[in-house]
Amino acid sequence: MEPQGCDDKDDELAQVMRRLAAGDEAAVVTLYERYGSSIAAAVRHVARSRPGRLDDDDVGGAVLDVCFELARVAGGWSPAGGALPWVWARHRVAGAVDRALGQQAQSLDDQRAEVLDRLAAAVAPGPSGDEPSLLDTLNRMASGDPAPRPALVDAAAMAGPGAGGPALASAATVPAPVVADAGRAVAVLDLTESDPAGAGGDEGAVGVDLLAEALDRGGVSTRDRELLLEYAYEKHSGNTAPATAVAPLFDMREVSVRQAARRTRERLLRLAASEERFAPLADLPLLA
Amino acid sequence: MSGRAPIRVVPSGRAAIVVGSTARSLVRAEARAEARRRHPAGRGWRPDRRRMLQRLADRAYAGGAPWPRVAAAIVMLRGVAGDDPPTFAQRVGVSASTLAGLEAGAVPASSIPSCLRAVVGLVDWAWVDDGTRSDWGC
List chain A residues with CB under 8 Å of B82: 16, 30, 34
> Which of B30, B38, B45 is the mutation pick for testing A, counting most A CBs within 10 A?
B45
Percent of chain A whose predicted confidence (pLDDT) is above 90? 10
Confidence band, pLDDT 50/70/90 cuts, at residue B86: very high
Q: What pLDDT digit, counting tens, does each position of A172-220 carry?
A: 333 333 333 444 544 444 444 444 444 344 444 446 778 888 888 888 8
Pick the range with the lowest mean pLDDT from A109-113, A130-134, B127-131: A130-134
List chain B residues with CB under 8 Å of A40: 42, 44-45
B51 → closest Cβ in A26, A27, A64: A64
Q: Alpha-carbon distance A199 to A33, whole Å?
A: 55
List chain A residues with CB under 8 Å of B123: none
- Written in H, E and C, the secondary structure of A136-173 is HHHHHHHHCCCCCCHHHHHHHHHHCHHHHHHHHHHHHH
Confidence band, pLDDT 50/70/90 cuts, at residue A244: confident
User: What residues contact residue A251 under an 8 Å CB cut-off, 6+ apart?
Assistant: none
Contact B56 A25 (CB under 8 A): yes
User: What residues contact residue A151 under an 8 Å CB cut-off, 6+ apart?
Assistant: A137, A141, A174, A178, A179, A185, A186, A188, A189
Contact A27 B79 (CB under 8 A): yes
Q: Is the ipTM of this complex over 0.95?
A: no
How does the average pLDDT of chain A come out, rounded?
A: 70
> Which of B39, B53, B55, B116 is the mutation pick for testing A, counting most A CBs within 10 A?
B55
A33 → closest Cβ in B33, B56, B59: B33
CATH of the structural domain A6-101, one choice from 1.10.3470, 1.10.1760, 1.10.3210, 1.10.1740: 1.10.1740
Confidence band, pLDDT 50/70/90 cuts, at residue A66: very high
What is the per-residue pLDDT for B68? 93
The CA-CA-CA angle for residues A120, A124, A125, to 5°, reads: 95
Q: What pLDDT digit, counting tens, does each position of B68-82 carry?
A: 999 999 999 999 998
A38 → closest Cβ in B41, B48, B80: B41
A281 to chain B, minimum CA–CA distance in Å?
45
What is the per-residue pLDDT for B67? 92
More confident: B17 or B110: B110
List chain A residues with CB under 8 Å of B26: none
- Res A37 pLDDT > 60: yes
Percent of chain B whose predicted confidence (pLDDT) is above 70? 65
List chain A residues with CB under 8 Å of B87: none
Pick the range with the lowest mean pLDDT from A70-79, A211-220, B8-17: B8-17
B1 to chain A, minimum CA–CA distance in Å?
24
A56 → closest Cβ in B44, B80, B103: B44
**Torsion angle, CA of A236/A240/A242/A245, rounded to 10 degrees?**
-120
Pick the range with the lowest mean pLDDT from A132-136, A225-229, B48-52: A132-136
A33 to chain B, minimum CA–CA distance in Å?
6
Q: Alpha-carbon distance A136 to B67, whole Å?
A: 47
CA nearest to A159, candidates A190, A119, A191: A190
What is the per-residue pLDDT for A132? 55
Chain centroid to Cα A245, Å, comes to 6
Single-letter amino acid, residue B72 = A
Confidence band, pLDDT 50/70/90 cuts, at residue A162: very low
Contact B79 A32 (CB under 8 A): yes
More confident: A113 or A89: A89
Strands B15-17 and B7-9: antiparallel
What's the DSSP call for residue A109? P
In chain A, where are the structural domains located?
Answer: 6-101, 110-287
- Res A81 pLDDT > 60: yes
Chain centroid to Cα A137, Å, comes to 15
Q: Using a CB–CB cutoff of 8 Å, tell me whether A30 touches chain B.
A: yes
Q: Using a CB–CB cutoff of 8 Å, tell me whether A72 touches chain B.
A: no
- Res A60 pLDDT > 50: yes
Q: Alpha-carbon distance B80 to A68, whole Å?
A: 16
Contact B103 A34 (CB under 8 A): no
What's the DSSP call for residue B11? T
Whether A150 and A174 have beta carbons less than 8 Å apart is answered as yes
Percent of chain A whose predicted confidence (pLDDT) is above 70? 60
Q: Alpha-carbon distance B2 to B115, whole Å?
A: 10
Name the closest residue on chain A to residue B43, using Cα atoms. Answer: A37
What is the per-residue pLDDT for A105? 47
- From residue B74, how far is each of A46, A247, B115 by CA, in Å? 33, 39, 12
B52 → closest Cβ in A19, A29, A37: A29
Q: What pLDDT digit, counting tens, does each position of B100-129 carry?
A: 999 999 999 999 988 888 887 888 899 998
What is the per-residue pLDDT for B116? 87
**Total residue count of chain A as it appears in this document:** 288
Contact A37 B36 (CB under 8 A): yes
Size of interface A-B (CB pairs under 8 A): 78
- B56-74: average pLDDT: 92
In chain B, where are the structural domains located?
Answer: 7-130
